[in-house]
Amino acid sequence: MSDTRPPSGPLPRHVAIIMDGNGRWAEERGLPRLEGHRQGAKSVRDIVTYAREIGIRYLTLFAFSSENWGRPADEVAGLMDLLHEYLVEERPTMIKNGIEFSTIGVVEKLPKTVQRMIDGCKKATTGLDGMRLTLALSYGGREEITRALKKIARGVDRGEIDPAEIDESTVKAHLDTHDMPDPDLLIRTSGERRISNFMMWQLAYAELVFTEVAWPDFAREDFNRALMAYQKRERRFGLTTSQLQGGPVYNDAAFVPHEGAKSA
Ligand code: IPE
Ligand code: IPE
Ligand code: MG
């Protein structure tokens, strides 16, 4: 076990990561892309453990986008196998470490075997309050917002929602992330500086940290560097510096954390 320590200072409550660069990592080494994904899964295990250890309350990982279905069939199949393997192997660790598992995205599109493992992990970890780990699977931000709009429209149709009463909290309540605070910090690995349709609504005021490190090489030290960069930022949420009172400020102060995270 590494004796790495996080930087002192307030930690983000919710960290989201676009785990990018597996394919290039492998190609640079003359390996098949899947080998990059395999190494990437090791980084997932280590960063999840570390985030839990240092007290991050919510960790959301972009594992497979709605657009990634368009990749070559063998890469998609390989990713699904790895996901299945990850869930089988990590379930006991999640339980042991008090990690509550959840997903965002259209999991119904995933292979049935994977869906069963997802259900199993969710059931086995409901209410655990060490950390909430969320995997974004078959996830697209615009698609999520579109699904939310459909649900709201149905609510209006049934007379359950008054259109005049629709506000931001109505939209939030219909997103996959309805029971999570917005990410405070977004990390993207491997040099790309874009959002790629990840959490389009929720990232409104997240601090963005980009690193050149490819996801398979992303280690605790790199996570600490991102936390340090986060701590140097001043989150103003449209206000002025003198209006800020110090202490951690979140852009969704009205958010009520799920049962387990109340001590955060
Ligand atoms: C991220 O790595 C993992 C997934 C998108 C599933 P990539 O596979 O996108 O790696 P690059 O960006 O091609 O190097
Ligand atoms: C975003 O990475 C999706 C995941 C990390 C799962 P991509 O590699 O798919 O994004 P683009 O294609 O570079 O924008
Ligand atoms: Mg990529």
* Rounded distance between C-alpha atoms, residue 95 and residue 105, angstroms: 23
- Strand, coil or helix: 220: helix
Quick check: is 237 in a domain? yes
Structural domain range at position 177: 14-254
Can you tell me which atom of ligand 2 is nearest the CA of 62?
Answer: 6
Catalytic residue check, 22: no
C-beta 22 within 6 A of ligand 2 = no
* Rounded distance between C-alpha atoms, residue 102 and residue 121, angstroms: 8
99 phi and psi angles, rounded to 5 deg: -95, 125
Can you tell me which atom of ligand 1 is nearest the CA of 26?
Answer: 14
- As beta bridge partners, residue 209 has 187
Q: What is the pLDDT of residue 242?
A: 85
Quick check: is 188 in a domain? yes
* CA 61 to ligand 1 centroid distance, Å: 13
Catalytic pick from 46, 68, 224, 251?
Answer: 68
Quick check: is 261 in a domain? no
Quick check: is 263 in a domain? no
Q: Which of 45, 15, 12, 1 is nearest to 215 (CA)?
A: 45
Quick check: is 222 in a domain? yes
CATH number at residue 161: 3.40.1180.10
Per-residue pLDDT of the chain (264 residues; tens, 9 = 90+): 456 899 999 999 999 999 999 999 999 999 999 999 999 999 999 999 999 999 999 999 999 999 999 999 999 999 999 999 999 999 999 999 999 999 999 999 999 999 999 999 999 999 999 999 999 999 999 999 999 999 999 999 999 999 999 999 999 999 999 999 999 999 999 999 999 999 999 999 999 999 999 999 999 999 999 999 999 998 888 888 888 876 556 666 555 554 444 333
DSSP tally for the chain: helices H, then strands E: 7, 6
- How many domains, the chain? 1
* Rounded distance between C-alpha atoms, residue 133 and residue 50, angstroms: 12
Can you tell me which atom of ligand 2 is nearest the CA of 63?
Answer: 6
Quick check: is 3 in a domain? no
Name the pairing type of β-strands 131-139 and 207-210. unpaired
Q: What is the pLDDT of residue 247?
A: 58
Catalytic residue check, 20: yes
Quick check: is 2 in a domain? no
Buried b (16+ CB within 10 A) or exposed e, 42-75: ebbeebbbbbbbbebbbbbbbbbbbebeebeeee
Task: Tokens for 33, please give them.
Answer: 């892309």
Q: What is the pLDDT of residue 261?
A: 40
* Rounded distance between C-alpha atoms, residue 258 and residue 77, angstroms: 34
Q: What is the pLDDT of residue 235?
A: 87
- Strand, coil or helix: 68: helix
Catalytic pick from 20, 182, 184, 222?
Answer: 20
* CA 183 to ligand 1 centroid distance, Å: 21
* Rounded distance between C-alpha atoms, residue 117 and residue 90, angstroms: 11
* CA 20 to ligand 3 centroid distance, Å: 5
What is the reported pTM?
A: 0.94
Quick check: is 238 in a domain? yes
Identify the residues whose C-beta falls under 6 Å from ligand 1. Answer: 19-24, 64, 68, 79, 190
